[in-house]
Amino acid sequence: MQITICGTGDAMGVPPAFCDLEVCNADAKRRRSALLVEANETTILCDCGPDVKAQLRATETKAIDGVFVTHFHHDHVGGIDELAAFVPVIGFDIHLTETAIGHFERERAHLSDGIEPRPIRAHQPVEIGAVTVTPLPVTHARPEFETVAFAIAADDRTVVYAPDVGRIDPDVSIPSEIALLVVGGDRLFRSDGGTDSFRKIIDPFAPERVVITHVNEWWLGKSTSELRRMTRDAGYELGEDFQSITV
């Protein structure tokens, strides 16, 4: 299974408006959240934020077999308009939570002729080709914007993608032997967070490898080198846009 982290930025991205990389003390641009999964000729996209067109071009992705959205915040679904015209052409489905479907019907009614979102429910796996995607409920802006992480399995390997997570719901059935956890890590760097607070989020997953996403140097007031050092000291890795990992 090949994993490409297409975006490691937060809701604003890096650099945000009115800034440049130098002002942000950032080494490189961070696009909004997206994860590309490729396994045995099956390609899955998790999240489709406002940078999705550029991300698909950069990865030279010509077709996808399914799109899964963690929640209906703009930085995770703002590019759904870019994909809408290609749903009937390429032949893929967009999978949303029940609350996300409600937002879609109210806010994207003009897309309803081309898209019929497929509902996803916690712990109910969806099989697409060689890949099985299982939604895991997490706390983040719920219930209005019900949020899930995704456990993505192929070839007896499992990756969990959780770009926005405050904590894991107590009733979550977490898969065993997680090879890779791609997780939102801003809490690790905030004054009201820290390593202990962050570990309470990720320890239940017991992953072999942790890559931090959903960060913003400007918002956190820390340079990329500082974030990289703090991440390394905690035993994790700071993600970069278009980082590719074989699992």
CATH H superfamily, domain 2-246: Ribonuclease Z/Hydroxyacylglutathione hydrolase-like (3.60.15.10)
Around Cβ 59, how many Cβ atoms within 10 Å? 17
Question: What's the pLDDT band for 19 if we cut at 50, 70, 90?
Answer: very high
pLDDT beyond 90 at 145: no
User: Average pLDDT, stretch 1-22?
Assistant: 97
Tell me how far apart the alpha carbons of residues 171 and 155 are, in angstroms, rounded to a whole number.
26
Q: Which has more confidence, 84 or 54?
A: 54
| Tens of pLDDT, residues 39-73 | 999 999 999 999 999 999 999 999 999 999 999 99
Tell me how far apart the alpha carbons of residues 119 and 96 are, in angstroms, rounded to a whole number.
5
The pTM score is 0.96
Tell me how far apart the alpha carbons of residues 206 and 184 are, in angstroms, rounded to a whole number.
16
User: Average pLDDT, stretch 206-220?
Assistant: 96
Tell me how far apart the alpha carbons of residues 103 and 37 are, in angstroms, rounded to a whole number.
26
**Is residue 23 helix, strand or coil?**
helix
Question: What's the pLDDT band for 169 if we cut at 50, 70, 90?
Answer: confident
Q: Per-domain residue ranges for the chain?
A: 2-246
